Amino acid sequence: MSRRKQIYEGKAKILYEGPEPGTLVQYFKDDATAFNAQKKATLDGKGVLNNRISEFVMIRLGEIGIPTHFIKRLNMREQLIKKVEIIPLEVICRNVAAGTMSKRLGIEEGEKLPRSIVEFCLKRDDLGDPLIAEEHIHAFGWATHAELDEMIAMTLRINDYLQGMFSGIGINLIDFKIEFGRLSTETGDHQVVLADEISPDSCRLWDRETNKKLDKDRFRRDLGDVTEAYTEVATRLGILQSNPPQGKPTLSVVSNDE
Protein backbone atom coordinates (compact mmCIF):
# COMPACT_ATOMS: atom_id res chain seq x y z
CA MET A 1 0.00 0.00 0.00
CA SER A 2 2.91 2.31 0.72
CA ARG A 3 3.78 2.19 -3.02
CA ARG A 4 0.56 3.98 -3.83
CA LYS A 5 -0.06 7.68 -3.64
CA GLN A 6 -2.60 8.63 -1.01
CA ILE A 7 -5.10 11.15 -2.38
CA TYR A 8 -7.31 11.69 0.66
CA GLU A 9 -7.86 10.32 4.15
CA GLY A 10 -11.33 10.57 5.66
CA LYS A 11 -12.67 9.33 8.99
CA ALA A 12 -13.48 5.82 7.81
CA LYS A 13 -11.81 5.53 4.41
CA ILE A 14 -8.63 6.32 2.52
CA LEU A 15 -8.44 7.03 -1.20
CA TYR A 16 -5.34 6.05 -3.17
CA GLU A 17 -4.42 6.71 -6.76
CA GLY A 18 -5.79 3.86 -8.91
CA PRO A 19 -3.96 1.67 -11.42
CA GLU A 20 -5.48 3.46 -14.44
CA PRO A 21 -6.10 7.16 -15.03
CA GLY A 22 -9.57 8.10 -13.82
CA THR A 23 -9.61 5.41 -11.14
CA LEU A 24 -9.03 5.39 -7.38
CA VAL A 25 -8.70 2.69 -4.76
CA GLN A 26 -11.07 3.13 -1.81
CA TYR A 27 -9.73 1.53 1.39
CA PHE A 28 -12.15 0.86 4.27
CA LYS A 29 -10.62 1.45 7.71
CA ASP A 30 -11.77 -0.07 10.99
CA ASP A 31 -11.97 3.42 12.50
CA ALA A 32 -15.33 4.63 13.72
CA THR A 33 -16.10 8.23 14.58
CA ALA A 34 -19.25 9.99 15.71
CA PHE A 35 -20.38 13.48 16.66
CA ASN A 36 -17.99 15.08 14.20
CA ALA A 37 -15.07 12.91 15.36
CA GLN A 38 -15.42 13.81 19.06
CA LYS A 39 -15.97 10.10 19.71
CA LYS A 40 -13.49 7.67 18.16
CA ALA A 41 -12.76 3.96 18.27
CA THR A 42 -11.31 1.16 16.23
CA LEU A 43 -13.73 -1.68 15.60
CA ASP A 44 -12.02 -4.85 14.42
CA GLY A 45 -13.43 -5.99 11.10
CA LYS A 46 -15.75 -3.04 10.47
CA GLY A 47 -13.85 -2.00 7.32
CA VAL A 48 -14.06 -5.51 5.89
CA LEU A 49 -17.80 -5.65 6.53
CA ASN A 50 -18.50 -2.20 5.08
CA ASN A 51 -16.42 -2.98 1.98
CA ARG A 52 -18.51 -6.10 1.36
CA ILE A 53 -21.87 -4.55 2.19
CA SER A 54 -21.21 -1.43 0.13
CA GLU A 55 -20.02 -3.55 -2.80
CA PHE A 56 -23.22 -5.61 -2.60
CA VAL A 57 -25.46 -2.53 -2.49
CA MET A 58 -23.62 -0.65 -5.26
CA ILE A 59 -23.82 -3.67 -7.58
CA ARG A 60 -27.56 -4.08 -6.92
CA LEU A 61 -28.16 -0.36 -7.52
CA GLY A 62 -26.10 -0.50 -10.73
CA GLU A 63 -28.37 -3.34 -11.88
CA ILE A 64 -31.45 -1.13 -11.56
CA GLY A 65 -29.81 1.66 -13.55
CA ILE A 66 -28.33 3.91 -10.86
CA PRO A 67 -24.92 5.09 -12.12
CA THR A 68 -22.29 4.57 -9.41
CA HIS A 69 -18.56 5.10 -8.96
CA PHE A 70 -18.06 1.39 -8.12
CA ILE A 71 -15.96 -0.71 -10.52
CA LYS A 72 -15.01 -3.82 -8.53
CA ARG A 73 -13.89 -5.04 -5.16
CA LEU A 74 -10.15 -5.70 -5.09
CA ASN A 75 -9.72 -7.47 -1.76
CA MET A 76 -11.09 -7.59 1.79
CA ARG A 77 -10.67 -3.87 2.40
CA GLU A 78 -10.37 -2.21 -0.98
CA GLN A 79 -12.47 -1.47 -4.00
CA LEU A 80 -11.62 0.08 -7.34
CA ILE A 81 -13.77 3.13 -8.06
CA LYS A 82 -14.10 5.78 -10.74
CA LYS A 83 -12.51 9.09 -9.85
CA VAL A 84 -15.23 11.72 -9.45
CA GLU A 85 -15.46 15.26 -8.19
CA ILE A 86 -17.48 14.94 -5.02
CA ILE A 87 -20.46 17.29 -4.82
CA PRO A 88 -20.10 18.88 -1.37
CA LEU A 89 -23.48 17.70 -0.09
CA GLU A 90 -24.67 14.91 2.17
CA VAL A 91 -28.05 13.79 0.90
CA ILE A 92 -30.15 12.24 3.65
CA CYS A 93 -33.35 10.33 3.01
CA ARG A 94 -35.67 9.48 5.90
CA ASN A 95 -38.63 7.12 6.18
CA VAL A 96 -38.98 7.04 9.96
CA ALA A 97 -38.08 9.79 12.45
CA ALA A 98 -34.73 9.27 14.20
CA GLY A 99 -31.49 11.00 15.07
CA THR A 100 -31.16 14.69 14.33
CA MET A 101 -34.64 14.94 12.80
CA SER A 102 -36.23 13.69 16.01
CA LYS A 103 -34.13 16.12 18.03
CA ARG A 104 -34.68 19.08 15.74
CA LEU A 105 -38.42 18.67 15.28
CA GLY A 106 -39.39 16.93 18.51
CA ILE A 107 -40.76 13.86 16.74
CA GLU A 108 -40.41 10.64 18.70
CA GLU A 109 -37.87 8.20 17.31
CA GLY A 110 -39.61 5.43 15.44
CA GLU A 111 -42.56 7.49 14.25
CA LYS A 112 -43.25 6.78 10.60
CA LEU A 113 -42.99 9.94 8.50
CA PRO A 114 -45.99 10.95 6.33
CA ARG A 115 -43.74 10.37 3.32
CA SER A 116 -40.05 9.92 2.59
CA ILE A 117 -38.17 13.16 3.17
CA VAL A 118 -34.92 14.21 1.47
CA GLU A 119 -32.63 16.61 3.34
CA PHE A 120 -29.31 18.20 2.44
CA CYS A 121 -26.32 18.93 4.62
CA LEU A 122 -23.22 20.81 3.55
CA LYS A 123 -20.12 18.60 3.69
CA ARG A 124 -18.08 20.76 6.04
CA ASP A 125 -16.58 18.95 9.04
CA ASP A 126 -15.40 22.24 10.53
CA LEU A 127 -19.06 23.40 10.67
CA GLY A 128 -20.49 20.04 11.74
CA ASP A 129 -22.12 19.37 8.32
CA PRO A 130 -25.00 21.86 8.77
CA LEU A 131 -28.49 21.23 7.41
CA ILE A 132 -29.12 23.49 4.42
CA ALA A 133 -32.05 24.34 2.13
CA GLU A 134 -32.18 23.84 -1.63
CA GLU A 135 -32.03 27.65 -1.85
CA HIS A 136 -28.52 27.60 -0.39
CA ILE A 137 -27.42 24.99 -2.93
CA HIS A 138 -28.66 27.13 -5.81
CA ALA A 139 -27.48 30.46 -4.43
CA PHE A 140 -23.97 29.27 -3.63
CA GLY A 141 -23.71 27.10 -6.75
CA TRP A 142 -22.89 23.86 -4.91
CA ALA A 143 -24.89 22.00 -7.57
CA THR A 144 -26.86 23.05 -10.63
CA HIS A 145 -30.65 22.79 -10.79
CA ALA A 146 -30.31 19.82 -13.15
CA GLU A 147 -27.83 18.08 -10.84
CA LEU A 148 -30.06 18.62 -7.83
CA ASP A 149 -33.09 17.24 -9.69
CA GLU A 150 -31.06 14.17 -10.65
CA MET A 151 -29.78 13.69 -7.10
CA ILE A 152 -33.29 13.89 -5.64
CA ALA A 153 -34.73 11.49 -8.24
CA MET A 154 -31.88 9.01 -7.72
CA THR A 155 -32.15 9.27 -3.93
CA LEU A 156 -35.86 8.41 -3.99
CA ARG A 157 -35.25 5.52 -6.41
CA ILE A 158 -32.42 4.25 -4.18
CA ASN A 159 -34.69 4.57 -1.16
CA ASP A 160 -37.46 2.57 -2.85
CA TYR A 161 -35.06 -0.17 -3.87
CA LEU A 162 -33.23 -0.37 -0.55
CA GLN A 163 -36.46 -0.37 1.46
CA GLY A 164 -37.55 -3.42 -0.52
CA MET A 165 -34.16 -5.08 -0.33
CA PHE A 166 -33.87 -4.69 3.44
CA SER A 167 -37.52 -5.52 4.01
CA GLY A 168 -36.83 -8.87 2.32
CA ILE A 169 -34.33 -9.68 5.08
CA GLY A 170 -36.48 -8.46 7.97
CA ILE A 171 -34.90 -5.02 8.31
CA ASN A 172 -36.59 -1.59 8.26
CA LEU A 173 -34.61 1.13 6.48
CA ILE A 174 -35.12 4.11 8.78
CA ASP A 175 -32.85 6.58 6.98
CA PHE A 176 -29.57 6.82 5.10
CA LYS A 177 -26.97 9.28 3.86
CA ILE A 178 -25.47 9.23 0.39
CA GLU A 179 -23.04 11.33 -1.58
CA PHE A 180 -22.80 12.01 -5.29
CA GLY A 181 -19.95 12.90 -7.59
CA ARG A 182 -19.44 14.37 -11.04
CA LEU A 183 -17.92 11.95 -13.49
CA SER A 184 -16.28 13.51 -16.55
CA THR A 185 -17.53 11.83 -19.72
CA GLU A 186 -15.63 11.41 -22.99
CA THR A 187 -17.65 14.23 -24.55
CA GLY A 188 -16.49 16.61 -21.82
CA ASP A 189 -19.85 16.58 -20.02
CA HIS A 190 -20.44 15.60 -16.43
CA GLN A 191 -22.61 12.76 -15.23
CA VAL A 192 -23.91 12.68 -11.66
CA VAL A 193 -23.11 9.30 -10.09
CA LEU A 194 -23.59 7.74 -6.67
CA ALA A 195 -20.25 7.81 -4.79
CA ASP A 196 -18.79 7.10 -1.32
CA GLU A 197 -20.40 4.06 0.36
CA ILE A 198 -23.69 2.64 1.55
CA SER A 199 -23.22 0.58 4.69
CA PRO A 200 -24.44 0.33 8.30
CA ASP A 201 -22.15 3.33 8.94
CA SER A 202 -24.37 5.48 6.73
CA CYS A 203 -27.83 3.93 7.22
CA ARG A 204 -30.16 3.33 10.13
CA LEU A 205 -31.27 -0.29 9.99
CA TRP A 206 -33.70 -1.71 12.56
CA ASP A 207 -34.74 -5.33 12.87
CA ARG A 208 -38.38 -5.49 11.84
CA GLU A 209 -39.48 -7.75 14.71
CA THR A 210 -37.51 -6.32 17.62
CA ASN A 211 -36.46 -2.82 16.42
CA LYS A 212 -32.91 -3.81 17.38
CA LYS A 213 -30.48 -1.33 15.88
CA LEU A 214 -28.14 -2.95 13.35
CA ASP A 215 -26.16 0.17 12.46
CA LYS A 216 -23.72 2.80 13.66
CA ASP A 217 -26.10 4.01 16.38
CA ARG A 218 -24.78 1.01 18.36
CA PHE A 219 -21.45 2.85 18.42
CA ARG A 220 -22.84 6.39 18.78
CA ARG A 221 -25.06 5.36 21.71
CA ASP A 222 -22.70 2.86 23.37
CA LEU A 223 -25.06 -0.06 22.77
CA GLY A 224 -22.18 -2.51 22.19
CA ASP A 225 -21.85 -5.38 19.70
CA VAL A 226 -21.27 -3.01 16.79
CA THR A 227 -19.42 -5.38 14.46
CA GLU A 228 -21.77 -8.21 15.48
CA ALA A 229 -24.67 -6.07 14.23
CA TYR A 230 -22.88 -5.28 10.95
CA THR A 231 -22.10 -8.99 10.59
CA GLU A 232 -25.80 -9.73 11.07
CA VAL A 233 -26.67 -7.38 8.21
CA ALA A 234 -24.01 -8.96 5.95
CA THR A 235 -25.19 -12.45 6.86
CA ARG A 236 -28.83 -11.67 6.13
CA LEU A 237 -27.81 -10.16 2.79
CA GLY A 238 -26.15 -13.49 1.99
CA ILE A 239 -22.65 -12.00 1.87
CA LEU A 240 -21.37 -14.11 4.74
CA GLN A 241 -21.94 -17.78 5.37
CA SER A 242 -24.32 -18.13 8.31
CA ASN A 243 -23.63 -21.70 9.40
CA PRO A 244 -19.90 -22.38 9.60
CA PRO A 245 -18.88 -25.22 11.98
CA GLN A 246 -19.09 -23.16 15.19
CA GLY A 247 -22.36 -21.55 14.11
CA LYS A 248 -20.75 -18.10 14.14
CA PRO A 249 -20.71 -16.07 10.93
CA THR A 250 -17.22 -15.55 9.56
CA LEU A 251 -15.62 -12.88 7.47
CA SER A 252 -13.38 -15.18 5.49
CA VAL A 253 -15.94 -16.92 3.36
CA VAL A 254 -17.86 -16.33 0.12
CA SER A 255 -14.80 -14.41 -1.01
CA ASN A 256 -12.69 -14.62 -4.15
CA ASP A 257 -10.07 -12.09 -3.16
CA GLU A 258 -7.36 -11.44 -5.63
Q: Which residues bind ligand C5P (CB under 6 A)?
A: 90, 92, 98-101, 129, 175-177, 202-204, 216
Q: How many CA atoms lie within 13 A of 69 on its CB side?
A: 30
Residue nearest to ligand C5P (CB): 99
Please tell me whether residue 10 adopts helix, strand or coil conformation: coil
Q: Helix 145-167 crosses helix 46-63 at what angle (to 10 degrees)?
A: 110
Q: How far is CA 232 from CA 141, 162, 212, 218, in A?
A: 41, 17, 11, 13
| Minimum separation from the CB atom of position 133 to ligand C5P (A) | 15
- What is the per-residue burial (b if ≥16 Cβ within 10 Å, else e) of 187-224? eeebebbbbbbbbbbbbbbbbeeeeebbbbbbbbeeee
Among residues 168, 156, 148, the alpha carbon closest in space to that of 208 is found at 168
Nearer Cβ to ligand C5P (74/122): 122
Which CB atom, from 48 or from 92, has the smaller least distance to ligand C5P? Answer: 92
The smaller minimum CB distance to ligand C5P, of residues 108 and 189, is found at 108
Which CB atom, from 82 or from 216, has the smaller least distance to ligand C5P? 216
Closest by Cα among 47, 48, 53, 44 to 11: 47
- Neighbour count for residue 115 (Cβ, 10 Å): 7
Shortest Cβ 241–ligand C5P spacing (Å): 27
Find the shortest distance in angstroms from Cβ 123 to ligand C5P. Answer: 8
Measured distance CA(19)–CA(190) in Å, rounded: 22
* Least spacing, CB of residue 86 vs ligand C5P, in Å: 13
Of 118 and 169, the one with the shorter C-beta distance to ligand C5P is 118
Q: How far is the CB of 193 from ligand C5P (least distance, A)?
A: 18
- The CA-CA-CA angle for residues 131, 34, 250, to 5°, reads 125
User: Based on CB atoms, which residue is closest to ligand C5P, 18 or 227?
Assistant: 227
- From the CB of 204, what's the least distance to ligand C5P, in Å? 4
In the complex, minimum distance from the CB of residue 248 to ligand C5P, in angstroms, rounded to a whole number: 26
- CB-wise, 123 or 157, nearer to ligand C5P? 123
How distant, in Å, are the alpha carbons of 27, 97, 146 from that of 210?
33, 17, 41
CA 72 to CA 55: how far, in whole Å?
Answer: 8
